[in-house]
Each structure stands twice: as structure tokens, then as C-alpha cells.
Amino acid sequence: MIEQVVIDDKSGFCFGVVNAISKAEEALSGGGTLYSLGDIVHNGSEVRRLEQMGLVTIDHSRIAQLGGQTMLIRAHGEPPSTYAAAQKAGVEIIDATCPVVARLQKLVVEAFEQMEKVGGQVIIFGKRGHAEVVGLTGQIGEKAIVVESIADLERVDFSQPLFLLSQTTQSKSLFEQMKEYVLSHAADPAKVVIRDTICGRVSGREGHLREFAASHDAVVFVCGKKSSNGKVLFEVCRSANPNSYKVEDASELDMAWLAGCKSVGVCGATSTPLRLMEEVATAIRNNG
């Protein structure tokens, strides 16, 4: 018998996602169409809600056909080539790049310029092909090594100066492991620059989620299948509580997971709207 279902009060949309969705809602409030370059948020349910308001999700191949239309650049940011393509096509841009990502884009440029002077290399810890990482590497003409794991660091030439940064939503603990590996393998650690560029609001959730997950008999983690941050935070939950399960919405809930549980925690990624966590919690209460 489930006695308690608790929604984590620190889960849900981060500022960057809230900002992007707010700008989209404002642009759509008067009717008409707004084009989003890629999913505005990695959550299918939220994307469908905004599409019903007039949002149309496109890829880069459509920019040239949008003359006179308005296009939103989501929180993940974009490389300079995207802005140039939009300007050439006569497309108005609503820029919803997260301020944290925008600062990181500038830092990547500074890091590249610094390394170029000394024959060094920029390393970005992130997911290859992820929108934010594409935007980061695009700032410097793809002249960075993107690493997803410690094993990827074997591609690095440790005899040269190095500058290590991270995608904003990566795992804090794995970044620390990367840092130690780079410093221990560098020919001259004094020529290694390391900047922890993981978003503080995201990294701060890891420690909290460990405590939250460990305090319940079971955890249901709500996030979209495309969410990079969701993958990271779900693994944090599962490491603290093996009885952790991931769903995109309440329809994927299997009450057999929660058999014998008295306390169930519901939490989510930075791309998970509160309403979805509430729907999952309600479903658990009604069926438990």
C-alpha cells in the first residue's frame, strides 16, 4: 500500500527552458506561426502542446525557405553559420539561447584563441551531435575535440597545451574524473587550463537527487527520450536507489514496479514540465 507520493520540488524546467518557452508563447499569443529550429525542449508532450498553439519544428534545411517568417533559436544555442543563413534568407530571429550557454560560447572562442597562440587543443566534454555541442564547436569552425567518456581522451595529444571545458548539462562527477585524467596524463600540467562550465543549477541537482532518491522506496523519473540531461540525472537516481524507473509520461507507468512500496518519489529533468510530474504522481496515487 503506497502511503506517500512526493514530487521533488527542485526538479523541472531550468531557467533556460522557461525563458525559451515563455518567448515562444509570447510570439504565438497573437496567432500565426513560429518556427523552432529543432525541438524547443527535449520533451515530446511539451512540444506537442506548443505545436497546438502554432509552433512548427524545423531543421536547418528549411531556413532558406522561410523568408519573411520568424524563427526561434532554442536554449541550446546555435553556431554563427545559422545566424548567417537566417540573415541571408530574410528570416527574423527570436534568440532564446540560455545565458549560461551564450557565455560558454564566448569562452570557447577565447579558449581557442588562447590555444592557437601556443599550439594547443580545446577539449569539450559533451555529447557528440547534441545541439549545444554543435553550437559550441561551430563557434571555432569545429576545431575542438569532443569527448563523451574517459576512453575518448585517448585521442588527445597530451604533449601539447590543453583547455578543457564542458557542455552545460553534463555530469559533474564525470567531469571531475576527466579533469583528473587530463592533469595526470599531461606532459606539463602547468599548460593545462580547466574550466568547469557545467550549469550550477544543473550540477546542484545531482547531490539533491541522490538524497531524494535514497529517501524513498522507489523513484519514478519523468523525462523525454531525447533529453541528455535526463539521462544523466536518471543515472544519479538509479545509483542512489536501484528501484528507479524512467517514463516519458503517466501512460508509461507500470504499477508492478511499485509493488510493496510505501513511499514513492517523482522527479524529472531540466526539460520536464511540472504538470507531467503531477500527472504521474496522480496516477500513482489513484492506482496505488
- The contacts of residue 211 (CB under 8 Å, 6+ apart) are 240
Take residue 202 and report the three cell numbers written for it.
Answer: 544543473
User: Among this protein's residues, is 154 annotated catalytic?
Assistant: no
First CA to last CA distance, the chain: 6
Contact 35, 63 (CB under 8 A): no
C-alpha angle with apex 134: 132 to 137, nearest 5 degrees?
A: 110
How many whole angstroms from its chain centre is CA 252?
22
- Which DSSP category does 253 fall into? -
Is residue 173 within 8 Å of residue 236, measured between CB atoms?
no
Q: Which residues of 117-135 are buried (b: 16+ CB within 10 A; e: fewer)?
A: eeebbbbbbbbeebbbbbb
CB atoms within 10 A of CB 192: 20
Among residues 78, 132, 206, 248, the one annotated as catalytic is 132
Tell me the C-alpha distance between 152 and 160, whole Å: 17
**Residue 152: CB atoms within 10 Å:** 15
- Asked if 1 contacts 288 with a C-beta cutoff of 8 angstroms, the reply is yes
Residue spans of alpha helices (H) in 131-264: 131-138, 172-185, 200-214, 228-240
Indicate which residues carry an active-site annotation. 132
